[in-house]
Amino acid sequence: MSSQELQAPPFNPEQEESRLLDRCEQLVEMAVSGGAEEAEAFGTFSQVSCVSFEKGDLKMAQVDDGTSIGLRVFKNGKLGFTSTNQTEVSSLEEAARDACTLADFSVADEMNQLPEAHPLSQQTGSLVQAEVGSFGLEQVVECGREFVERTSARDPRIAIDKADAQASRISVAVHSTTGVHFSESDASIGLSVFGMAVDGDDVGGFDYWGGNVRDLSRLAALTDETIERFSDAVLGNLKAGAAESYTGPVLFSPAAFLSCFVSPVVSASSAIAVQRGRSALAGKLGEAFADSRLSITDDPTDLELSGAGCFDREGQPTTRFSLVEGGVLKSYLYNAYAAKVDKCESTGHASGGARSVPGLGPHAISVAAGSDGDQAAMLKALDRGLFVQRFSGTVDPASGDFSGVAKSARWVENGQVVRSLKETLISGNAFELLNRVGALSSTRELIFSSARAPFALIDGLSVTAG
Amino acid sequence: MTLRELPLKDLQDPTDLLNEVLTETGDEFVELRYHRKRTRSISVEKGRVDQAKISEHTGVGVRVLAQGTWGFASTDRFEKAAVRRALEAARSAAISSASARLNKTAPLPKVDLARGLFELPGTGELIARPLEESLDMVMRLESQARQASTSIQSAGCGYTEIFEEKGVVTSDGAKAWTRLVRPEFRISAVAQKDGEIQRGSESVGATGGWDCLFRNATAESLADKAAKRAVDLLSAGYPEGGRKKVLLSPSLVGLLTHEAVGHTVEADFVMSGSVAAGKLGTRVASDLVTLCDSGISEYYEGAGGSMMIDDEGVPTQNTVIVKDGILKSYLHDRESAAHFEVEPTGNARAWEYDNEPLIRMRNTFIAPGDSTLEEMIAGTEDGLLLDGPANGQADSNGEFMFGTHEAYQIKDGKLGPLMRGVNISGVAFDVLQTVDRVGKDFVWDLGSGHCGKGQPAKVDAGGPWLSCEVVVGGRGA
């Protein structure tokens, strides 16, 4: 076999989408023939070239492609679901048969109905840049090698446990008996690094950073940002000492703010959580539940966020969506099922992939910036206390209670970072403390290309030093 | 038609086909790994079926060591031509990236590799168990939990079976296949009063059949316990934070062994400079502590991370990591074992066919001592008894954290009222030095858990009750 034959075929979005749609149609027809009253197939095709590094050296190069198709059927309001990565006709027939059989013995639920098709509000086809779609393994190797070499060169104390560079091409398609028939493709290049700094016997806490770009011209900036963010975190983790226990203000990095405060708000905004009695935001629609500076949108039109896309897991159109505005809860998130229960329209928030029943969740969370300056200004606003850059702990989305360890944490005196911390725990309740926002930064960070958020200074935290 | 008539495809030895492809290879090291994973899952919340699912993810992962560099590729087609193409793709990937590999990987040393069928019990039993029965159970128990108190707003219940068949052949002699099943059961309840929301949850997981899954508690008692915890926590206070003496339940001892120690002794992490690097043969714990990671379910059958061979074809064993407080071994795959000039410990695991094998834990535990729980409570002047595992994470510097669902204050050897769960933290080897009592009753209690390390892995962990000192993150510190 020649080396040319060994190359993965170039990514052809139109061809892959057409192939997936054909498979989805075929599967839906099989399900209907098997007795399903409604059927929906969702397919994904992914083609990945990846190179991984360990201990600063290339570990392995990997090329993969694969297809998965999920089939959801309803019979008399009863749900059955199957998924398979085996796409020959006999396997699809088996998947269709299994889904119908599962529905036969499942429990009827009158809210189980597939959504009708609606025109998309965004144009598909904007997520694949030709240069990224054709980014080959050799380019991935070179990109990863440069990334790791430059990270290691920042400081001899940096120990890279694992780093990756990868080029991903993904096509998705959805087809249903209710007229949904959409497909789109996405291509991105991603970098990630995980590791720590080691200085003699001093082993610092680990940290990680990374992100993806769809625009090749942004790869250099992503590389620079990732190296700087990771290096600063792990080098800063050396010589960690004890914090002081107190109750009071804590400065959260955008990533930590997202984990402790924004995530519980988003989870509690799920209409299903509200309907099933596990949301602290039940009955709060239109009410101010948080500081008036808090505004959260879900923005799948933001192409810098990896969750960008034109339709959701059920083929419903996605659009820029205001969740919280000026501290007021503007809407809950709906998929088709939750919308049916509340007798309203889906907001296009069906989530998940081909291997499970559609769930409910946001695509691309964006928290509005405040007006209190940059990170340095926020440190000055804190003056003295704890600065948390990463949170490792438990967040209960129902109650909003969170408790865990402040990672890559720093102690601040007179508005300046004075030392790294270890064994520092924080706890509080997100919904209570969002009314005690002291400051929100004017600057925001892109967090692993999945969300945007500012720094936040929050009062009333319990800080326990080890 | 019932699901009894939905058989998993006939179980067949996949290694013959792999071996036919293997015989066509050259001098490089080649590993072909077939993995068929079929999952059946049901979940119900507030009387509604959210999930009634069967899924299949099957294919062959191929690793090639060529020019001192690893290449990996996979195919979702289990047929010779497709596996051959994946092999060539893996070889091509290795060769095309070899120039960027600074320290070439030496050929792997000869080790004893598995051949034949390795089967753990339970697959036949659970295949034959109609899924209708599982649905009935899940519906009934969700309803039982939801109706346990007027404070309970909703409940959820789920049951999952993961059937796995694997076959691995390597160019240096492995030719083995294995099959097993890992069932899991979860139940949760959400209680609400005066705007306060609290959740109670219980879960169990095993490798094996029904008896293994519910060996320590019936499904009914788990539903009662989850509901009671949710309601009781509504009126529970917050413990005060700080460094404290704690009694950890077997599930939390499992989390401690997994998060605090297990990750730091994974040899790939050791080579990156984890806190366990260079500490072999030194004291890292009190002499009451013997800590192991085993592919076998020690003490009794059914531990959730059990496996007889790993994904490199190495037979698993009970690896003693800490013996009477002294660090004795790291956890290895074949490559790291060669680096440290020891035998591999059978810890190479891949989540699915299209994942590369990584060094992962299996069933991690602290060996039992000789104290009863009553003696341990009576011997504690001021501390907390903690139970109910939440999530956890370990750090390269040995710092760990994990969450607990409930806490009871202990004063002057007497157990106080229920308090809300806390997160605890510490530095692994410092905390293990503070162990002053080890219980005598052993329990596997983390079988429903997944460990994350780029890819998930089914693991279990456990031990007896344990007395030690940690940092407790409470309120009003």
Give A223-274 pLDDT, tens digit per residue.
Answer: 999 999 999 999 999 999 989 999 999 999 999 999 999 999 999 999 999 9
Choosing from A233, A249, A276, the residue where a domain stops is A233
Alpha helix stretches (DSSP H) within B327-367: 334-340
Residues A275 and A208 in one domain: no
Both A253 and A227 in a single domain? no
The residue among A8, A317, A302, A322 whose CA lies nearest residue A126 is A302
Q: Which residues of B touch A1 (CB under 8 A)?
A: 88
- Using an 8 Å CB-CB cutoff, list chain B residues near A426: 473
Fold exhibited by the domain B3-234: PmbA/TldD fold (3.30.2290)
Residues A138 and A269 in one domain: no
Q: What are phi and psi of B266, to 5 degrees?
A: -65, 125
Query: Whole-model pTM above 0.95?
Result: no
ipTM: 0.92
Q: Which residues of B touch A101 (CB under 8 A)?
A: 1-3, 5-6
User: Taking each helix axis from N to C terminus, what angle separates B131-146 and B219-234, rounded to the nearest 10 degrees?
Assistant: 30
| pLDDT in the model for residue B475 | 66
A93 touches chain B (CB under 8 A): no
Q: Is the pLDDT of residue A8 over 60?
A: no
Task: In whole angstroms, give the CA distance from residue B448 to residue A403.
Answer: 22
For chain A, positions 128-147, list CB contacts with chain B under 8 A: 137-138, 141-142, 144-145
- Quick one: tokens of A392? 């490792």
Query: Does pLDDT of B295 surpass 50?
Result: yes
Nearest CA-CA distance, residue B439 and chain A, Å: 26
Q: Are residues A390 and A445 in the same domain?
A: yes
User: In the prediction, which pLDDT does B10 show?
Assistant: 55
Q: How far apart are CA B52 and CA A356, in angstroms?
A: 10
A354 in the same domain as A412: yes
Domain residue spans of chain B: 3-234, 242-473
Instruction: Nearest by CB to A357, from B53, B96, B101: name it.
Output: B53
pLDDT tens sequence across B109-130: 999 999 999 999 999 999 999 8
CATH number at residue A179: 3.30.2290.10
Q: Is A101's Cβ below 8 Å from some Cβ in B?
A: yes
A330 & A191 share domain: no
- Burial class, B40, CB count within 10 angstroms (exposed 0-12 / middle 13-18 / buried 19+): buried
Same domain, A352 and A407: yes
Closest in B139, B398, B420 to A107, CB measured = B139
C-alpha dihedral (A266, A270, A274, A279), degrees to nearest 10: -30
Query: Based on the domain organization, do A385 and A287 belong to the same domain?
Result: yes
Interface residue of A82, A403, A431 to substitute, partner B, most B CBs within 10 Å: A403
**Closest Cα of chain B to A326: distance in Å?**
23
Q: Side-chain half-sphere of B43: how many Cα atoms within 13 Å?
A: 18
Q: Which domain holds residue A163?
A: 3-233
Whether residues A306 and A408 fall in one domain: yes
Q: In chain A, how many domains are there?
A: 2
**Cβ-contact A86, B58 below 8 angstroms:** yes
CA of A465 vs chain B CAs: smallest distance (Å): 7
The confidence score (pLDDT) of residue B1 equals 36
A190 touches chain B (CB under 8 A): no
Domain C-terminal end among A187, A205, A233: A233
How remote is the C-alpha of A51 from its chain's centroid? 22
Interface residue of B6, B31, B395, B422 to substitute, partner A, most A CBs within 10 Å: B395
How far apart are the C-alpha atoms of B184 and A38, rounded to whole Å?
Answer: 30
Which tens digit of pLDDT belongs to each residue from B316-329? Answer: 999 999 999 999 99
| Domain final position from A233, A254, A281 | A233
Parallel, antiparallel, or unpaired for β A202-203 and A451-465? Answer: unpaired
Quote the tokens at residue A267: 């989870």
Residues A215, A139: one domain?
Answer: yes
Contacts of B6 in chain A (CB under 8 A): 97-98, 101
Average pLDDT over residues A350-379: 98
B203's CB contacts (< 8 A; 6+ apart) are: B184, B185, B186, B187, B222, B448
User: Is the pLDDT assigned to residue B24 strictly greater than 80?
Assistant: no
Question: Are residues A227 and A245 both part of a single domain?
Answer: no
Per residue in B427-461, pLDDT (tens digit) is 889 999 999 999 999 999 999 988 988 899 999 99
Same domain, A355 and A447: yes
How far apart CA A380 and CA A374 sit, in angstroms, is: 10
